[in-house]
Structure 1
């Protein structure tokens, strides 16, 4: 049965679990790294960073790591200016040494979070389609503590979609159901731009051979389910206005069907297989600038 948490606006947030969990409730004191992947989103990333100012009133310890993926516009410059103006004290601007695509940027973030000792990684895409505010009511209640992944879902009850076509909605819901049937667990979304992960689940590197491109999250949900991780989905508010989508519906559909065929043939082989076009032993990145709580604002 779904479990309800009271949200900040007194409405209910519906958590849908893929397996029974018992979670701890208490004052939030965990260390969170907010990973913001950014590529060619110069107009959107300032809004995303500005919205993170709401975290100054939250318990818990939040740091921002914006990982810029070799944009061809002014994303890097505008990201630095936005982070400089953000009141959160602990912030980093990181640039990938090469364009690793969205999945590769995730791998950079998870490795950085491990090196820095963060307990949780919150993924918030830099294109301003989702908001950090949708997950905060769950964190305040400790809804993440006995989970390995808390995944934002655009297509479950309680979510809202703005500027999303009926065709894309239908295609996403259809693939959610197909992936759920193959995995034997209910998936309400295969990869939105707002997710939380327990960082330690990536320490064994099970995710490293997953594709580096936009399909990384599709591999990841299968990987999480197939390795017995504790998952829950929660509704989010999602919008498209001035964003430029990198997803091509027909091409994505063909890619997903091929992926499903691989997974159906053998779950074990799917988890072990190399799914990257360009296998890498590492994903080097450079810290462009770091702000820390001890930094003198003057």
Structure 2
């Protein structure tokens, strides 16, 4: 069995984190995990400590990119073969992690995206419209079809862990996926289902959603072309 680390960035997830981690601990004992408490202002860190969870407690909020990179550095230091980006809000399902790893091994993939749309059609909403637009931009700039470009459940192989752990500007977002494809990384998708958020509110409000789309579009169409391939 390859060594797999589930990285769980958590910012103000006190209402969700226990359900998420307990399920992994009790039902998926073959998986290792680490909670990255991203400077939460609620009791997320205390809940993790009270339950003896494996936690890295960041003193300040670094955002998703910084928190996930902290997890990748831990994965690199501990010698993991795969690292999985896994939300702390209960939307992702751990039963897909081993099949995603098997997909990576079988097809020689560097990145496996947990895709909601390999077997199901996209809904009709502004968020899904944004997902489709980003997928089109990735195809236009890389020639690679990625059906679920905004999925937050992604598995990275050892080469990607090495590449992303200490380099700047590698946020766990669609523009990084586009850049990695252009650098020669092999990216595939595996069908998954996702849940609605258990509790709390997503950071992606309407205003933040507009900002996010602007950033992704400009990054994929413009910024990525000025980055040195490695």
Q: Same fold (TM over 0.5)?
A: yes
1:158 aligns with 2:134: no
Post-superposition Cα deviations, 1:42-64, rounded to whole Å, max 9, x if no partner, equal 111111112212113xxxx5311
The aligned counterpart of 1:45 is: 17
SS of the equivalent of 1:121 reads strand
Name the structure with the higher helix share: 2
The alignment of Structure 1 onto Structure 2 pairs a total of residues equal to: 222
Distance in 2 between the 1:137 and 1:258 partners? 34
Distance in 1 between the 2:39 and 2:180 partners? 29
Task: Kindly report which structure 2 residues correspond to 1:110-129, keeping only aligned pairs within 5 A, or say none.
Answer: 110-129=72-91
Task: Kindly report which structure 2 residues correspond to 1:22-61, keeping only aligned pairs within 5 A, or say none.
Answer: 29-52=1-24, 53-56=26-29, 61=30
SS of the equivalent of 2:34 reads strand
1:223–1:271 CA contact under 8 A, matched in 2 = no
1:124–1:130 CA contact under 8 A, matched in 2 = yes
Q: What is the aligned-residue RMSD (CA, Å)?
A: 2.4
Structure 1, gaps ≥5 residues long: 1-28, 85-90, 273-298
Post-superposition Cα deviations, 1:184-217, rounded to whole Å, max 9, x if no partner, equal 21112234232111133342458722165xxx41
Q: TM-score, normalised by structure 2?
A: 0.85
SS of the equivalent of 2:69 reads helix
Task: Tell me by how many angstroms 1:37 deviates.
Answer: 0.7
1:104 aligns with 2:76: no
Distance in 2 between the 1:165 and 1:243 partners? 24
Name the structure with the higher strand share: 1
Task: Tell me by how many angstroms 1:238 deviates.
Answer: 1.9
Task: Kindly report which structure 2 residues correspond to 1:1-298, keeping only aligned pairs within 5 A, or say none.
Answer: 29-52=1-24, 53-56=26-29, 61-82=30-51, 84=52, 92-139=54-101, 142-145=102-105, 146-154=108-116, 156-159=117-120, 166-205=125-164, 208-210=167-169, 216-241=172-197, 242-247=199-204, 248-263=208-223, 267=225, 269-271=226-228
Structure 2, gaps ≥5 residues long: none
Q: TM-score, normalised by structure 1?
A: 0.67
Distance in 1 between the 2:138 and 2:167 partners? 21
SS of the equivalent of 1:200 reads helix
Post-superposition Cα deviations, 1:47-94, rounded to whole Å, max 9, x if no partner, equal 1112212113xxxx5311111000011111123344x3xxxxxx6210
